[in-house]
Structure 1
Amino acid sequence: MSEDTVALMAVERDDEPAAAKTPWYRRRWLRVLSWLGTAGVVTYGAVRLFGLETGFLLVTTVAFVPYFVVAAIVGAGVQAVVRHWLAAGITAATAIALAAVLVPRAVADDQPTAGGAELTVMSVNLYVGNANFDYIMELVEEHQPDLLSVQELTPGSPDAFTERGLDEIMPYSILEPDDLAIGTGLYSRYPLERIETVGRDAIFYQIAAEIDMPEGTDIRFMAAHPAAPASAERIPLWEEDFEQLPRPDGGLPWVIAGDFNATLDHENMRELLDSGYTDAAEAMGEGLDATWQPTGGYLNGLVKIPAVTLDHVIAEEGIEVLDWEVLDDAGSDHAPVVARLRLQ
């Protein structure tokens, strides 16, 4: 064998590793990105599953768990495409764990059998007085609520309702209108007496009252509006407002309706429910129906913040939930909601 042949064979052997380069899907930068994605998913999952949200960033982002589950599943699929199996498995497992906490909201619960009066409760956020009052009155006439919780009741709002006949339909009320989002109102078909010891220290007005219901099934009702966690400075106020919301205490049963500025993924909302309440939407298997989305957006409205569920009607355990509905919005960033209950 000639020296030239030996040299050529050596060159070919040297070229073999180059021909067997690392496949594209195993490139280091791609694996690093994949692991970073998995780390983000696991961190987010831990925050939600263990109630670790604190501070503005975590409190706001934990509201979007349903969307995050979808994104995590898509991410796991991408990792599978690039054959990063371990990362894909961890991402998928976390997504499944998060999806598991959402399932009860989509499955109707068995309800207690109550024998008292039926009660229809409606909640409306007036969007700082900019909502469509004519449409709200149409909803009132259609659904005939016994109790109406009104948030963001501005100084001119009570007169707007009076002009449209709300006082004739619901002749009893406690109203605290104010500028911006501070004001709140409670309208009722039945006599009511304010409970002065509840809801007085919140950043937004909140109104609690004892309702003189027919058939001897009196209740306590609250038009709720905890502070919005819209900035780092507001988070402590939001947390304090939730601590002050009434808990079942063995007295007359509570029903609370309004803009809670929290989803069922927030730890403070879950703690409130665990104290002895049922969320009407979750009880009906409709707990994933969104109620709030900003009217504006980014890039001239092309990109919008996803809709989430901030408006709730919660009833003390033992009260039967008969129906729940999220209605079309009334020119507000919040959709009106209505629940039908049967009291104990």
Structure 2
Amino acid sequence: MFRRVLAAAVVVAVAAVLFVFAWPQFFGLQQTFGIAHVVSFRAAAALIAIALIVGLTLLALLARPVRRFFATLAVLLLAFTLVNAAVLSTRGFGDTAFETAGDSTVTVLSWNTLGDVPGAATVADLAIENDADILTLPETTKAFSLEVAALMKAAGRPMWVETTAFDQISKSRSTSVLWSADLGTYTVDESVGQTATLPTVVLRPDDGSGPTIISVHAVAPIPGEFRNWQADLDWLADTCAGENVIMAGDFNATLDHMSGLASSATTTLGDCADAALATGNAAVGTWPTTAPALLGSPIDHAMATENWRVSGMRVVQDQDGAGSDHRPLVAQFAPAG
């Protein structure tokens, strides 16, 4: 009798844990330490679950006295795998189709360069190849960004440059943004505050006609920074407010972590909607480059308010050898309506 009670208790506990990891939003635990890390890697978690299912199935076949116990655990893991597969499939495993760009189209390239590692020519070539109007570059210094801008100008794509650096000791504490001269001049808005540990750049158009541009770098949810990570996401949700905002960069957060931070049912974070989710790319991992994209974590994003329509988006997967631990992404926005 005791053995049955113990087995039942274990099954209930495992079922509860798997339910939390599969959909932490149900309990409001998506930003809880540990749970937030597991849900960041849904595909990898599902792959591990499949391996455990195989092992438990073999044990169930070999150990008759505990066959039902192991078989039940395997069924629970199968349900966990199917839930993750369903979530990932609804978010999309990659659709790289782009509409033909129009005169009012704005193309965004975002890349955490890990402290200028890929080299200015690599970043400039990628921006020119994709006809980028805005570059959001976390962990990128001003000197590097000016070099990128010079290369783009030489190719007929003059760009303005702005960098915010919290110090000159670590390149990770610099965030840069480049934008096309065709968009006009912009000024940094310091009145809105800042992300807590790593800088985010908020640019407002001087003539009031262009989009507010936000180059994002939220801190990672590591020990010692977890509360700052939560505060960063709250601040980003508050900062994406208004009718004309384009926001991109390293959010160090997946769509799961952003649950509950949208201002409406059609947005993702504040008034901004995620381009990857709109185009079927939200299950494609941007970090780390050492893992296959479909096993990685989609923590880099491009977003915009509802006056913009996403007309194309892709995670760039041919730069994994460039040195950064993040993949670049390219998003194309066209005026809505």
Give the structure-2-normalised TM-score. Answer: 0.75
The structural deviation recorded for 1:92 is 2.5
Classify 1:326/1:294 alpha carbon distance in 2 versus 1 (closer, same or farther; 3 Å): closer
**Equivalence map 1:45-194=2 (5 Å):** 45=22, 47=24, 49-81=26-58, 82=60, 83-84=67-68, 85-106=71-92, 117-154=104-141, 156-165=143-152, 169-177=157-165, 178=168, 179-189=170-180, 190-191=183-184, 192-194=186-188
Q: CA RMSD for the aligned pairs?
A: 3.4
**2:275 is aligned with what amino acid?**
A
Q: Does 1:279 align with 2:274?
A: yes
Q: Secondary structure at the match of 1:291?
A: coil
List per-residue Cα deviations over 1:238-291 (Å, max 9, x = no partner).
Answer: 11111111548873321110011111222x366241644321112111111111
Q: Does 1:320 align with 2:317?
A: no
Give the percent of matched residue pairs that are identical in Structure 1 and Structure 2: 26
Alignment correspondent of 1:16: none
Classify 1:200/1:45 alpha carbon distance in 2 versus 1 (closer, same or farther; 3 Å): closer
**1:188 is aligned with what amino acid?**
W
Farther off after superposition, 74-83 or 328-337: 74-83
Farther off after superposition, 320-329 or 78-87: 78-87
**2-side partners of 1:101 and 1:90: how far apart?**
17
Alignment correspondent of 2:323: 331
Q: Secondary structure at the match of 1:223?
A: strand
Would you say the 8 A contact 1:127–1:332 is kept in 2?
Answer: yes
**2:138 is aligned with what amino acid?**
Q
The structural deviation recorded for 1:338 is 0.6
Gaps of 5+ in 1: 1-26, 110-114, 298-305
**2-side partners of 1:201 and 1:286: how far apart?**
26
The alignment of Structure 1 onto Structure 2 pairs a total of residues equal to 298
**2-side partners of 1:250 and 1:154: how far apart?**
27
Q: Does 1:236 align with 2:201?
A: no
Would you say the 8 A contact 1:198–1:245 is kept in 2?
Answer: no
Farther off after superposition, 137-146 or 177-186: 177-186
The structural deviation recorded for 1:107 is 7.6
List per-residue Cα deviations over 1:52-110 (Å, max 9, x = no partner).
Answer: 1455423222211222123334434544452534333333233333333223211899x
Q: Secondary structure at the match of 1:312?
A: strand
List per-residue Cα deviations over 1:166-205 (Å, max 9, x = no partner).
Answer: 5862432222244331111111112223222235353211
The structural deviation recorded for 1:337 is 0.8
Would you say the 8 A contact 2:287–2:296 is kept in 1?
Answer: yes
Classify 1:108/1:292 alpha carbon distance in 2 versus 1 (closer, same or farther; 3 Å): closer
**2-side partners of 1:101 and 1:323: how far apart?**
21
Q: Does 1:254 align with 2:254?
A: no
Classify 1:70/1:245 alpha carbon distance in 2 versus 1 (closer, same or farther; 3 Å): same
